[in-house]
Amino acid sequence: KNEVEQSPQNLTAQEGEFITINCSYSVGISALHWLQQHPGGGIVSLFMLSSGKKKHGRLIATINIQEKHSSLHITASHPRDSAVYICAVYPFYFGTGTSLTVIP
Amino acid sequence: DTAVSQTPKYLVTQMGNDKSIKCEQNLGHDTMYWYKQDSKKFLKIMFSYNNKELIINETVPNRFSPKSPDKAHLNLHINSLELGDSAVYFCASSPDSNEQFFGPGTRLTVL
pLDDT score for A98: 96
Contact B100 A45 (CB under 8 A): yes
Assign A91 a pLDDT band (cuts: 50, 70, 90): confident
pLDDT score for B75: 96
**CB pairs A-B closer than 8 Å:** 50
pLDDT tens per residue, range B22-69: 999 999 999 999 999 998 888 999 999 888 888 888 878 999 999 999
Assign A83 a pLDDT band (cuts: 50, 70, 90): very high
Residues of A in contact with B107 (CB under 8 A): 41
Instruction: State how far the Cα of A35 lies from the Cα of A97, in Å rounded to an integer.
Output: 9
Q: Which of B88, B98, B107 sits opposite A90 (nearest CB)?
A: B98
CA distances from B35 to A10, A89, B82 (A): 23, 14, 17
Mean pLDDT of A63-68: 94
Instruction: State how far the Cα of B41 lies from the Cα of B64, in Å rounded to an integer.
Output: 20
Is A71 in the B-facing interface, judged by CB distances under 8 Å? no
pLDDT tens per residue, range B66-99: 999 998 999 999 999 999 999 999 999 998 777 8
Residues of A in contact with B101 (CB under 8 A): 45
Q: Which of B94, B98, B101 sits opposite A30 (nearest CB)?
A: B98
pLDDT score for B1: 65
Share of chain A above pLDDT 90, in %: 86
